Structure 1
Amino acid sequence: MNHYTSANFSMTQSIGFALTKARNLVAAEVDTALKDLDISSQQMGIVLSLQRGIATTPFELSKLLGIDTGLMTRMLDKLETKGLLARSRSVEDRRVVNLHLTRKGEQVAAQIPGIVPPVLNARLRNFSRAEFEELKRLLAKFIGE
């Protein structure tokens, strides 16, 4: 089923516009909340993914977070400069770069769960439990999960 046609399409009324606006709004609010940790919302995704062992290489992180490899390299460079992560070559395959959090990175990662949920909860304050669950369900369906 086609929901949009050339006749009814309006950029500001499209799902893409709403999703981008929502993402930018949440990212800005999370960025503000994370300011004292000196990381951005995008960097938070990297830090938490490494902490939880969800991804351990730049390629895995790029795929998981939907970030192109060039931007991922720049973000990893910044996190490494801040002393939050370290890179090492795989012993089995020298082409593979493994990533791990430093002690400082682990300390930053441990603080994130106390900072971000209040930001998200404030944005979701007018949602009922059922609406929240439906939003999660619809977004998962939209992105193909």
Structure 2
Amino acid sequence: MARAKHYQASTYKARTSVGYLVKRAQTAMVNGIEPAFAEHGFNLMQWIVLIYLRDGIALNAKDICAEFQYNSGALTRVIDQLEERGYIERRRSRNDRRSVELHLTDSGRELVKSLVPVVVDRLNQALSDFTRAEVSELTRLLNKLIAGSQSMASAGEAA
């Protein structure tokens, strides 16, 4: 089956590119949620570490860096800050003593629980003009875009 060609070099415009629009949407969402985190003494990257740990998306700094494409030195500072505040702790892995895992403390779990309504409120504001079906379709399409982009990245690595 021939792959569809949705863009042509002769008519390509950045402002109508899916990549541009996804990045603009991400920037707008970050700009909308950062002030809410600041009111609670946090930033987005700190939230990402906490929620990734809560949801099991990541077990260690390496996983977070890989998943979020974040600089390991900068992430170490974020983890240090969260650890100093008593929200996470580092523990040696039981399976590999060379590996350090990150875990939410009881305070960290309580903090995440208190911040989830803030995140949900901001997401609902951003999606207020969408129907449930549209949000479901947007989620499906974004997952499809992610899978296609990951496939493209894998093909590039193999070449």
1:61 aligns with 2:64: yes
Deviations along 1:63-113, one digit per CA (max 9) or x if unpaired, are 333434344323223322333212122244232111112333222111122
- 1:8 aligned counterpart, secondary structure: coil
Instruction: Specify which structure has the bigger relative contact order, considering alpha-carbon pairs within 8 angstroms and separated by 6 or more residues.
Output: 1
Equivalent-residue separation in structure 1 for 2:43 and 2:91 (angstroms) = 23
Match of 1:51 in 2: 54
Deviations along 1:17-60, one digit per CA (max 9) or x if unpaired, are 11111101111211111223322223212101212333221122
1:96 aligns with 2:99: yes
TM-score where L is the length of structure 1: 0.85
Equivalent-residue separation in structure 1 for 2:38 and 2:117 (angstroms) = 14
Gaps of 5+ in 2: 149-159
Match of 1:42 in 2: 45
1:118 aligns with 2:115: no
Q: After alignment, is 59-68 or 39-48 more displaced?
A: 59-68
**What is the aligned-residue identity percentage?**
31
Equivalent-residue separation in structure 2 for 1:72 and 1:128 (angstroms) = 36
* Equivalent of 1:142 in 139, 142, 145: 145
CA contact (8 A) 1:12 1:18 kept: yes
Match of 2:29 in 1: 26
Gaps of 5+ in 1: none
- 1:144 aligned counterpart, secondary structure: helix
- Aligned-residue RMSD, C-alpha: 2.1
Equivalent-residue separation in structure 1 for 2:31 and 2:88 (angstroms) = 23
Which has the larger Rg? 2
